[in-house]
C-alpha cells in the first residue's frame, strides 16, 4: 500500500469536483491522497474510431513514467477497445476516470472510489456497494458511495498487509 496515493487532474476539471473527490476518497479509504497537479493526455493516445482517448494507453503511459498508485481525472471521453467507459484501472498501478458522462460531483466521486479501489487491490463486488461495477447510468445513480462491510474488511486486510 502506498504511503500516499497521487491524484492528477485534467485541465478542465473544476476545483469543486476535485475537492469533493479528494474528501470522499479520504473518508472511504482513510489513507493519504496527494494532488500532484495537472496532467494532459498525449495526443498519440487519441482513438479516432471511438472519438475518445485510449484509457489503457493513458494508464500504461503513467506507469512507463514510473508513476504507480495514482488516479487521473480528466474531462475528455475515454474508451477501452473502442468502447466508451467511465474509467479504467489496473490493480496496484493506476486509474483514469472521465467526467464527461457524469452529471454531478457525487457520481464522479462514486466512480473514482470504485476505480481507486481496484488500484488498491479490491475486486468487483455484487453487494450494495460502491465496488459494484457500473454498466449503465441508472446503476451508477443507484449504487451507494461507500464500501459494504465485506469490502471494508477486505480493504483493512490489504492495508494491514502492505503498510
For position 2, what pLDDT does the model report? 60
pLDDT of residue 162 exceeding 80, the answer is: no
Please state the pTM of the whole predicted model: 0.92
- Decide: helix, strand or coil at residue 24: helix
pLDDT band of residue 66 (cuts 50, 70, 90) is: confident
Domain topology for 4-162: Collagenase (Catalytic Domain) (3.40.390)
- Decide: helix, strand or coil at residue 58: helix
Q: What integer is the mean pLDDT of 38-62?
A: 91
Instruction: Give helix 105-119 / helix 15-29 axis angle, nearest 10°.
Output: 50
For position 121, what pLDDT does the model report? 93
pLDDT of residue 31 exceeding 90, the answer is: no
Q: Give 50: exposed, middle or buried? Use CB within 10 Å, 0-12, 13-18, 19+.
A: middle
Amino acid at each position: 500500500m502506498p504511503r500516499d496515493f497521487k491524484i492528477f487532474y485534467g485541465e478542465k476539471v473544476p476545483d469543486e469536483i476535485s475537492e469533493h473527490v479528494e474528501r470522499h476518497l479520504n473518508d472511504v479509504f482513510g489513507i493519504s491522497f496527494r494532488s500532484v497537479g495537472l496532467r494532459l493526455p498525449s495526443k498519440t493516445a487519441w482513438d479516432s474510431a471511438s472519438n475518445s482517448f485510449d484509457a489503457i494507453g493513458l494508464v500504461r503511459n503513467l506507469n512507463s513514467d514510473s508513476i504507480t498508485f495514482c488516479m487521473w481525472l480528466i474531462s475528455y471521453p475515454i474508451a477501452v477497445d473502442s468502447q466508451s467507459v467511465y474509467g479504467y484501472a489496473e490493480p496496484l498501478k493506476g486509474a483514469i476516470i472521465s467526467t464527461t458522462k457524469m452529471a454531478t460531483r457525487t457520481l464522479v466521486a462514486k466512480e473514482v472510489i470504485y476505480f481507486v479501489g481496484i488500484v488498491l487491490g479490491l475486486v468487483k463486488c455484487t453487494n450494495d456497494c460502491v465496488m459494484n461495477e457500473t454498466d449503465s447510468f441508472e446503476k451508477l445513480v443507484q449504487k451507494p458511495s461507500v464500501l459494504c462491510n465485506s469490502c471494508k474488511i477486505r480493504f483493512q486486510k490489504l492495508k494491514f498487509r502492505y503498510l
